[in-house]
Amino acid sequence: MKPLTNQRDAARAVLLPLDCSAITLQRVLAAEQQEIASHNTRFEQYLKTAHRQINIKPTKPTGTKQIRDLATFAALGALRTHSADPLADTKYEAREPNGSAEARMLRSPIRKHPGLTEFSIRARNYYVATITWLFENKLPSQLQAEIAAVLLAPDPPDITAPAPFRTYAKTDSESIDERYRDRAKITTDGVWIDTDHYSRCCQLLPVSPPSAPAPTDQLQHLYISDRGLVIPREIFRLKLAEYAWHGWAKLVNLAYNMLSTQEYDQLASQTPHAEDVIFRYFKFNNLIYSPYFASKSENPQRDWQDDTNIKTPPQLEDKRLITIVDCIRATPSLSFGTPLPVQTLFNHLKTYFPPPRRPGNDINSQRTLFQALQNAKSSQIKLYRNNQTSQLQCEIPAPPHTPIYPRNDDGRDYWNSYLHIQSKLRQKDVEPHWSRKSGRDRQIINPTVPKQTWQLPQPDYHAAIRRGQKTAAQAQSTIPTISDVEPLVDDESKLTPTQDELKFLTRVGLAMERQIADYSLTDSMRVLRRRGDGTQLNVDEGKLQDQDWLERHTEGRKVLYTVPADKRKLLSIKNVSNDGYGERTTSEKSLHRRGIDQTAAWLATKPDVTRVVRYHDLWRLRSTPYEEQLKKRDLLSTRIDVIGFNESTPRYVAEVETKSNSPSRAQHCVRKLNTFSTIDDIQTILVTPNPEHLWKLMRHLDHPDYFDFTSFPNSNPRNYGRTEWKTKLQNEDILGQFFDQLETYRSLVQSSPPTTPDQHQDKIIGNL
């Protein structure tokens, strides 16, 4: 297919994206994304109209000039809506208490919603409405017939083909026209399908993606006429809408996984007026979220009565309720809309680690969970006691499922599942029955697939939807390879480093935040200086160090770099702070991060470890045998660097410590390990980079309240390493009392069994 140069192919791609290959659609999306910069006014015009579309009635599009715009504007428009930050730099933003949950939720509020907002649903309606208009008003009858035939009378799937369910995937599109042209005809009444080709494919599914204009039992029937099946115009529109609803999801998901972070940000900066309609909805506090995950409770510092011009706060959602919804989406054993014991929900929340692109989990007690549910503004969120058991239960409504999530490698997506269902229905015959109307007998067929026929593919379809929503709530969004990394800043001329140096610094910063999929902090950072062709970037490390852009560490043969926090901010690199993924503080250097990942990889190789968590918040151990001990030591609000679990039971607790000028850091680290050392069946490990760091730590711990050595070794780090310190700690009864094992980065590598790089990766929350 050549949709960029052939208008017939463009129409096929716009109307039947599920039947086109991903490569074809990506080519179209890439070409259009580059053009939006010079045609941003048309794109903004399209998006403003889309945000007002409340139904799927055929509608002439605005802002488009080419047929392919109907697909590309729809996909990129959905992403532009998703990333909208309508109240940025406004007086509304200035009114939120600094550092409050409200202030955080005000930034990109639509992206934080766990499903599609009203704006996104309207944009989807607009896509359906405009392609229906295109089909009925702009396509020649021959192409209309081909589109109808592919939709209603496709070939049975060729399971030997690479893409057996996609009509245009590997076949010349004009040969499809020749093969399909006699299967369908466009008539004044609707679409006629030849008797040899009609099947249950021609009926609507008993699910409700599009907005049907009337209840199902009031829709017109299909009927037999002239050796074929007639699908009335209204029913065909709904069938096309049903397909388009899934086609829109595929287009949006492809676009989301195509665009780099920089391209995503450019799309927003190039179309500043696309948020005008969204801003007005926020300003007047109209209901744009459904369901509305907001709270009735008010932050006492959120005083909106001081300024007479802004008496009503903008509509924001409760971060805690968002996390509850994300947890249910990510947990196969939990369901929306059904009674759910609050204790069970909290137990699952304790093991749910939102990825960095989702709001972090700070529901740190069952009381916090109870208050969030009790104060929910929506009547759809219910909290009550079971009449028979007196158990506290809740019911949470499901958000509209979204196609905006990272690439799903865990089974097929729901739009592909829809195509599989259509292929199964192609093999099912319809069941006409006689009806008499206006004195005339004719054979009619119900407009929807019977429930008993739908029951067979239904579980697979809903499982695909559930998989997609699990991915939306759980999967990371990372840059695929080192060579894909480009500077994220809009105006590079304001920064002193060269283009090559900015690329290198961006790579280092993203690697520190674990945002490059094919790089691990357990590896040397020398690879970050290489281009895709193997040549070296032109980087003056000395200059960057002198200008405080870069710090360099060596650990054995490995080189690590750190871009300081203030410089990462200038590079538009966000700090990853969700527990399970990153540290709260922005000052953590690469050397410490590497130790955490090395320790996690080491623990993951142990046969009695099923799950490894980095940066583990200790509130997650509430309602366990360890809570009382942690509470006594006032540790429930702190984090442990790495914990290895056997199912839900901690087996290994590790702290990574590097040298510093602050004795309190090393002492706090050992105090945490000491707390777990008193608990049976938990091994505690202190990890440090090398003997030089270890020596400094021991100096800080030589204190009456800690190790209080009988004498400090009269030696130096070069001659007195881990083995010597381990012997001394054993001789002075420190090992086993404060912690159980002493390791360095090198000893972790040496004691790890030989494995493939990703053999145990799935054990680690967030992966490496």
**% of the chain with per-residue pLDDT over 90:** 63
Residue-wise pLDDT tens digits, 667-710: 999 999 999 998 889 999 999 999 999 999 999 999 999 999 99
Which carries the bigger pLDDT value, residue 581 or residue 494? 581
pLDDT of residue 158: 67
How far apart (Å, rounded) are the C-alpha atoms in residues 364 and 642?
19
Residue-wise pLDDT tens digits, 719-763: 999 999 999 999 999 999 999 999 999 999 999 888 766 678 889
pLDDT of residue 40: 85
Torsion on CA atoms 87, 90, 93, 94, rounded to nearest 10: 180
The tokens describing 717, both together, are 């780090």
pLDDT of residue 297: 80
Q: Which residues pair with 434 in a beta bridge?
A: 443
Residue-wise pLDDT tens digits, 311-346: 666 778 999 999 999 999 999 999 999 999 999 999
Average pLDDT, the chain: 89
At 162, the pLDDT band (50, 70, 90 cuts) reads: low
Overall fold of domain 590-763: Trna Endonuclease; Chain: A, domain 1 (3.40.1350)
Helix (H), strand (E) at residue 231: strand 228-232
Angle at CA of residue 237, ends 9 and 81, nearest 5°:
70
At 308, the pLDDT band (50, 70, 90 cuts) reads: very low
Residue 50 pLDDT greater than 70, yes or no = yes
How far apart (Å, rounded) are the C-alpha atoms in residues 177 and 11?
13
Greatest CA span in the chain, whole angstroms? 112
Give, in order, the Cα–Cα distances in Å from 474 to each of 260, 360, 392, 518, 542: 20, 12, 27, 19, 40
Residue 591: other Cβ atoms inside 10 A? 22
Residue-wise pLDDT tens digits, 652-672: 999 999 999 999 999 999 999
Contacts of 762 (CB under 8 A, 6+ apart): none
Return the DSSP state at 657.
Answer: -
Give, in order, the Cα–Cα distances in Å from 369 to each of 192, 209, 394: 56, 32, 11
DSSP per residue, 320-355: HHHHHHHHHHH-TT--TTS-EEHHHHHHHHTT----
pLDDT of residue 304: 55
pLDDT of residue 282: 72
At 527, the pLDDT band (50, 70, 90 cuts) reads: very high
- Whether 482-570 shares its CATH topology with 590-763 is answered no
Of 352, 318, 316, 315, nearest to 332 (Cα)? 352
Instruction: Let me know: does 409 contact 181? Beta carbons within 8 Å.
Output: no
pLDDT of residue 164: 66
Residue-wise pLDDT tens digits, 51-96: 999 999 999 999 999 999 999 999 999 999 999 888 877 777 777 7
Residue-wise pLDDT tens digits, 402-436: 999 998 776 789 999 999 888 888 888 888 888 87
Q: Is 736 helix (H, G, I), strand (E, B) or coil?
A: coil
Residue-wise pLDDT tens digits, 190-231: 999 999 889 899 999 987 655 444 445 578 899 999 899 999
* Domain boundary assignment for the chain: 7-272, 291-298+316-395, 482-570, 590-763
Residue-wise pLDDT tens digits, 85-131: 888 777 777 777 777 788 888 888 889 999 999 999 999 999 999 99
Residue 65 identity (one-letter amino acid): K
At 277, the pLDDT band (50, 70, 90 cuts) reads: confident
Q: Is 58 helix (H, G, I), strand (E, B) or coil?
A: coil
Mean pLDDT, rounded, for 355-359? 92
Of 72, 35, 118, nearest to 290 (Cα)? 118
pLDDT of residue 429: 85
Mean pLDDT, rounded, for 555-578? 92
How far apart (Å, rounded) are the C-alpha atoms in residues 58 and 236?
12
683-688/649-656 β-pairing:
parallel
Handedness of CA 398, 404, 410, 411 (dihedral sign): positive
Its CATH architecture, for the domain 482-570, is: Orthogonal Bundle (1.10)
How far apart (Å, rounded) are the C-alpha atoms in residues 123 and 125?
5
Instruction: Let me know: does 443 contact 302? Beta carbons within 8 Å.
Output: no
Of 613, 645, 602, 617, nearest to 741 (Cα)? 602
The tokens describing 172, both together, are 């010349």
Instruction: Let me know: does 242 contact 233? Beta carbons within 8 Å.
Output: no
pLDDT of residue 11: 93
Residue 290 pLDDT greater than 90, yes or no = no
Of 635, 523, 645, nearest to 580 (Cα)? 645
